[in-house]
Structure 1
């Protein structure tokens, strides 16, 4: 996939686009420490007749890194996406987001219901429910951001790939594990640190009370081994007007990484064949 850049509110945003002349478009937003590259195995399995757009979010991949943590906040990310879609003249699309990217996708769909046709949220939380939870999480994310800058990127990645959330990835092939690690190591220490400070789960607004405002189909996708996000999805689906919870067996948090074939099948069945 060809990598492109566009100036969005003074920041060079990196993205890929497969078929700009297509009638249908699907936009992919990656998770923390990821980039557009993490979606490539999935997109390669999908029909070529659709336009697939994958964006490097602020502080990640090849997108320009801002030194100001405030530039990473949710409201800023949403303004970036709004201008980005305007610049590429995209007015209607399905939106797929994973983890951090899922939180941004959910917020964008709530704010732009006229643009988003369908929403796929992979291993995504609508945020934390109480001010106390948010404050504790902000403190934890600030400490982790400091650790990235003080100890360096490689030391952080050594820690990050060994947290329980990614335990199931150790069952992947050595080649795949190396590919995941390489993508993480290609990140910017400043970008990741500021992403935590500005866009960590404790910083974003809670969207639990707004889930019933979504009038579009929302597909919640979680992995069998990811009990935390499976429980969150079970609670979310009860609040959605048109929500479905799809659980994938034998995978953890990053379904699209651990089983791209199954994830591509979900995209095919829910967003392409059914439309």
Structure 2
């Protein structure tokens, strides 16, 4: 589907209640290949700048208001009046912002290893500097440098235990990116410019599930903050997993998601 000149790729799998799935930074919809959800229609979206979706050279389409508007038009065009959202990392931040923007349409939110944005202005400014540095490094050094740099972050240390073929697929998805698209994503919707949604969380009307790995200390703490802000949020910690829970522990992740969706269907 093409929206305001930007082509979006989305794959629809299965039948039943709709779950729109949003991947993380430098990933694409292929990251969900091991997520098996019975009696569910999964809409696997390649976010702008990723996968088979458009990779505009201009920065403006990567801003959050444009991303949310395009995503809303995409889902509406697929004929989904009511649906749930699943987002991992960057995709989770976008899902959270989407839920705040379109609360009457979103039945439930599933946030995997996701933040709500940086509230402290000094920290936001520092993150903008870091994102700008990384964006320029990607442009200067290229995708192979980025793939090595990104996989070496402590956040992804637990992925070294994954089977070789899965690690190869992760690397291939990272290598499939374009430098300008990753740079624009960092500058247009990275954490340094992403709005802090902390104040919106208590008022969100839909059920929310927050999933994180036992070994992901940063997002374990963020998960607790979500619960403090909204006691109705359910938090699930999956043992033996790090940041990317759905790849590291797919069976446990799928079971938790299935139970949540089942409860949404039968309140």
Q: Which category of TM-score, normalised to the shorter sequence, fits these structures?
A: over 0.9
1:18: how far off? 1.5
Is 1:81 aligned with 2:99? no
- Residue 6 of structure 2 corresponds to 11
- Residue 135 of structure 2 corresponds to 145
In the aligned structure 2, how far is the partner of 1:153 from the partner of 1:165? 19
In the aligned structure 1, how far is the partner of 2:137 from the partner of 2:251? 35
Where 1:238 maps in the other structure, the secondary structure is helix
In the aligned structure 1, how far is the partner of 2:132 from the partner of 2:78? 35
Is 1:34 aligned with 2:27? yes
In the aligned structure 1, how far is the partner of 2:30 from the partner of 2:218? 26
- Residue 258 of structure 2 corresponds to 268
Residues 99-110 of structure 1 correspond to what in structure 2 (within 5 A)?
A: 99-110=89-100
In the aligned structure 1, how far is the partner of 2:240 from the partner of 2:250? 13
Where 1:64 maps in the other structure, the secondary structure is coil
Contact 2:108 2:264 in 1 (8 A): no
Runs of 5+ consecutive residues of structure 1 not aligned to the other structure: 1-5
Q: Deviations over 1:97-126 (max 9, x none)?
A: 000000000000011111100100000000
| Alignment partner of 2:147 out of 150, 154, 157 | 157
Distance 1:245 1:174, change over 3 A: same
Contact 2:20 2:83 in 1 (8 A): yes
1:50: how far off? 2.1
1:23: how far off? 4.4
In the aligned structure 2, how far is the partner of 1:210 from the partner of 1:83? 23
- Residue 194 of structure 2 corresponds to 204
TM-score normalised to structure 1 length: 0.94
Where 2:156 maps in the other structure, the secondary structure is helix
**Aligned CA-pair RMSD:** 1.1
In the aligned structure 2, how far is the partner of 1:23 from the partner of 1:266? 17
Contact 1:215 1:242 in 2 (8 A): no
Where 1:41 maps in the other structure, the secondary structure is coil
Where 1:220 maps in the other structure, the secondary structure is strand
Where 2:9 maps in the other structure, the secondary structure is strand
1:198: how far off? 0.5
Where 1:75 maps in the other structure, the secondary structure is helix
Contact 1:141 1:196 in 2 (8 A): yes
Contact 1:165 1:226 in 2 (8 A): yes
- Residue 3 of structure 1 corresponds to none
1:183: how far off? 1.1
Contact 2:107 2:264 in 1 (8 A): no
Contact 2:18 2:43 in 1 (8 A): yes
In the aligned structure 1, how far is the partner of 2:263 from the partner of 2:257? 9
- Residue 25 of structure 1 corresponds to 18
Contact 1:216 1:242 in 2 (8 A): no
- Aligned residue-pair number: 265
In the aligned structure 1, how far is the partner of 2:125 from the partner of 2:60? 17
Residues 110-129 of structure 1 correspond to what in structure 2 (within 5 A)?
A: 110-129=100-119
| Alignment partner of 2:248 out of 254, 258, 271 | 258
1:70: how far off? 2.1
1:77: how far off? 0.7
In the aligned structure 1, how far is the partner of 2:80 from the partner of 2:179? 32
Contact 1:215 1:241 in 2 (8 A): no
TM-score normalised to structure 2 length: 0.96
